Structure 1
Amino acid sequence: MINLALSAIAAQLNSKLQGDDRVISAVSTDTRTIKAGDLFIALSGEHFDANSFVAKAVEQGASAAIVTKKQAIDIPQIVVKDSRIALGLLGKMVREQVNPKVAALTGSNGKTTTKEMLAAILKLVAPTLATAGNFNNDVGVPLTLLRLQADDQYAVMELGANHKKEIAYTTGLVLPEVVLINNVDAAHLEGFGDLQGVASAKGEILAGVKHHGMAVLNRDDKFYQYWLRKVNAQRQVSFSVVDDSADYFAADITFDNVGNPTFRLCTPSDECTINLAVAGSHNVANALAAAAMASCFGIDINTIKLGLESMKNVQGRLKISALTPRIRVIDDTYNANIASVKAAIDVLTHFSSTNVLVMGDMGELGSSTANMHQQVGHYAQQQQVDHVYTCGALSREAALTAGECGRAFLTQSALVAALIELITTAPETQLFTLLFKGSRSAKMEQAISLLTIKLAEHSTMLIENTTLVENTIKERKC
């Protein structure tokens, strides 16, 4: 964060500083991670009030606080009506003072991967800030803006939402020159009602783009025409995996033996071959979106190629690794909706092995919950997945719909025990590929960790038993 005086912050928030003025160089909303000298912002919500943690924040080293109620503590304080709004205004203040070129992107799938692809391109040109982790909501976005440094020339901001007007709000904070709507699918339906509600919410990003900015739209998405009507035709470009009338499109797509795509990137002015180090055909679309956004900033095609090809898997998103010589794991546990599960299944079935979908519940699907899980089961069966193991009351529908290959469990311990049995009773030459997938609330990454531990224990037990048998044989020979 850049250095800011408390008095300047108070003026930005239309509030009065109570106490001595001082310079702040970092902000925190969490007493568990606060550092000496930080400005503590006491966020409040329906079920919590961080004003009661100000004393603890001071014990941890906070030198000032933004509060909604004056605290009986001898540190400078700025009292505001709404600390969340104050956080947003402070983030916007930093964004305006640093004044980088900003790209903002949203969509139901691929936001984080596309963000990382674009950041990889822009970092080759100049210092670039990008959203970290899942800091893409009305709290995470301003916290990301507060990470801006004076030399940052670009910022790549991921904007998510689980309710209407959230993207409109965060777009107003980041003030982007280039925006992207990647796609729309059945995600967060509880907050938006239906797909049209999701499309409308994602479309909020278009109203916030600067008057001279550009919008990048997915020509393959069912809502492309809907979004196109909301933006000046001269201020938008399109991308497509299948339609060569788009401004940016892919041709000659092929895949290597682990599912990584190679394709010809075709732009309005040039073309080149891209070899991605991330698996799945859906990542071709993500790469096209990132290339289009970079081009809107004037980045040349050679730099785009270098950036895309240098981008590696993001943790929890189709990260492929060898757990043992026999067991390949695809970690796609970060989140899940129907489209991302199908895309992950397509990657899974690329491998010549015994393929297992290990799935946790998909959340926030409202009245479509049962149907969406059933669709997963049908798709897994259609794609000839060998086994569908599920964990949770909701995903049970997927296992039941998958037929004979489906098994449902209520706990991760039972799930992992069944996986251990499946693997250890198979011939030693049999190879397995396990795809772990689920919504954030399912925490399927914990199942990967538990499986790793149990496999290690099983291996140790086998070694001990083998040693015991060998020693017994030696004793008898003696």
Structure 2
Amino acid sequence: MLTVHEASESVDGRHIGDNPVIDSVSSDSRTIESGALFVALRGERFDGHKYVEEAVNKGAVGAMVDTESNLPTPQIIVDDTEYALGQLAAGWRRRFDIPLVAITGSNGKTTVKEMIGNILRANDNALISKGNFNNLVGLPLSLLKLRESHRYAAVEIGMNQIGEIERLADIAQPSVAVITNAGAAHLEFLVNIDQVATEKGKIISSLRDSGVAVLNADSSHYSAWRRTAGSHRVISFGFSSDADVSGTCTTLTFGSQISMKTPLGEFQVDLQLAGEHNVINALAAAAASVALGLTPSSIKTGLENMSAVAGRLQPRKHLKGGCLIDDTYNANPNSVAAALAFISKLNGDRRLVIGDMFELGASGEELHRDVGRLARECGIGRLYALGTLSAAAAEEFGRGATHYSDREMLISDLGSQLDETTTVLIKGSRGMKMDEIADSISMPANHYAKEVAEC
């Protein structure tokens, strides 16, 4: 990969000790592999410098630290290890003259990244960032996995502070920048949705000269993003007939048949993912693929091979034999609305388990009330609310809603009130651990796998 001294030079660090070759980079002493450089990060509740010795004992060949250690191991001394990790990744990225797609947005970025990954892998070897490795630690660690065998890369860019997207885009140096949308997320530290959209638009600022901006033509922020793109080529996507990549669809219970129109021609995609929002996600992935010059057959194959991502409108069976819609990966008002729009089209007794949505700032209570109101309008028969903010959703929903402060009591009540005709949607922010509720009322995978299509 590179030597400790080369790594030190790329981050303007001070190198002490020997100069071994680094095979990989890690910030986790629990999973570090032999031959790795250990990056000792600091946070409010942790200090990676306490684990340098453990990392070395497990085979780390050096450590990046902000304070010199007494251990006889090669070290790179820097002022800020998190910032230096980003610089190391940026320098490593510059070594690879390959197309890289970076995706951001309030909703859909992980699914779009996985869709693009499927399309790229149908074409050639590609690096796809794992899970939601989309912050100032996860993105650099993903980029540092680039190798000569890779012909493409796709990464996700998230945000939980102003300026983070711009910094991450500077590190990733994208060839194609995708903005899925901008909605009511991150309002804890941003003034309004317009500011969210402005921050999302900063991904465009780091595009290479020949880079392409892939933008949602259905968004009210499309014109502003297009102005930000300046002289860069823009490929738009959406249901709008004016979009460069557009589509009409026939919605199935857990999928859609999409008639897709692109600059490369028209073709049909049988998408095995639930919800109209996933049709938009597929159009975004197709638009990014057009920007990369990929073929319609690669786009079609990649999208049709997509299966439900765990925790994202994932169909399961609950213990009474009815349908469980596991949408527990995360939540904000837009994604809750999309999930409710989907479940409203299903037959039978429909129920919602909602946990708190985080990072909504002063608008939190009002936005949770909106969820309760929308759930009632979408034909939800019963609502189970967990958490402080979700009490407002239960109150707004009215009769048929119950608010819980105790997770186990919610699980007990929910389990006793389900039958084979009941469909239950579970949704909430990641920190609410709503997946634990889904797992508690779900049949084991080998029991429901053959029957799940009947939901």
Please give the TM-score of this superposition, normalised by the length of structure 1. Answer: 0.90
Distance (whole Å) between structure 2 residues aligned to residue 217 and residue 453 of structure 1: 40
Q: Does 1:272 align with 2:267?
A: yes
Equivalence map 1:245-394=2 (5 Å): 245-251=242-248, 253-256=249-252, 258-324=253-319, 326-394=321-389
Query: Over residues 109-168 of structure 1, what are the superposed CA-to-partner deviations in whole Å (9 max), with x where a residue is unaligned?
Result: 000011111111011111111121121011111010011122011110100001111111
Q: How many residues align?
A: 444
Spell out, residue by residue over 1:208-250, the C-alpha distance to the aligned partner (whole angstroms, 9 max, x if none): 1111111011111111111111112661111112x10111111
- Tell me the amino acid that sits aligned with residue 133 of structure 1: G
CA distance in 2: counterparts of 1:181 and 1:438, whole angstroms: 23
Partner of 1:90: 88
Q: 1:434 aligns with which of 421, 424, 428?
A: 424
Larger helix proportion, structure 1 or 2?
1
Mapped contact 1:389–1:406 kept (Cα < 8 A): yes
Within the candidate set 402, 421, 433, 1:443 is matched to 433
Q: For the Cα contact (< 8 Å) 1:91–1:143, is it kept in 2?
A: yes
SS in 2 for 1:189: coil
Pick the structure with greater CA Rg: 1
**Alignment counterpart, residue 410 of structure 2, candidates 401, 415, 426:** 415
Q: Once the two structures are superposed, what CA deviation does each residue of 1:169-218 show, in whole Å capped at 9, x if it has no partner?
A: 11111111111111010011112121111111101101111111110111
Q: How does 1:60-139 map to 2 (within 5 A)?
A: 60-139=58-137
Partner in structure 1 of residue 31 of structure 2: 33
CA deviation digits over 1:342-369, x for unaligned, max 9?
Answer: 1111222222121111111101100010
How far residue 324 of structure 1 moved from its aligned partner, in angstroms, is 4.2
Q: 1:446 and 1:170 mapped to 2: Cα distance?
A: 31
Rounded Cα–Cα distance in structure 1 between residues aligned with 2:99 and 2:263: 22
- Structure 1 alignment gaps of length 5 or more: 455-478
State the shift of 1:325 in Å: 6.3
Q: What is the DSSP-based 3-state SS (H/G/I as helix, E as strand, rest coil) of the residue aligned with 1:202?
A: helix
1:259 and 1:347 in contact (8 A); partners too? no
Deviation at 1:7, TM superposition (A): 1.5
1:239 is matched with 237
Calculate the aligned-residue CA RMSD, in Å: 1.5
Q: What do the CA deviations read for 1:385-443 (whole angstroms, capped 9, x no partner)?
A: 111111111111111111212111112101111112212xx5xxx41111110001111
Structure 2 CA distance for aligned equivalents of residues 442 and 453 of structure 1: 21
Q: CA deviation at 1:60?
A: 2.8
The structure-2 alpha-carbon separation of the partners of 1:191 and 1:346, relative to structure 1 and needing over 3 Å to count, comes to same
Matches of 2:380 and 2:56 in 1, distance apart?
55
Give the Cα–Cα distance (whole angstroms) in 2 for the partners of residues 453 and 260 of structure 1: 22
Match of 1:230 in 2: 228
What is the deviation of 1:259?
3.5
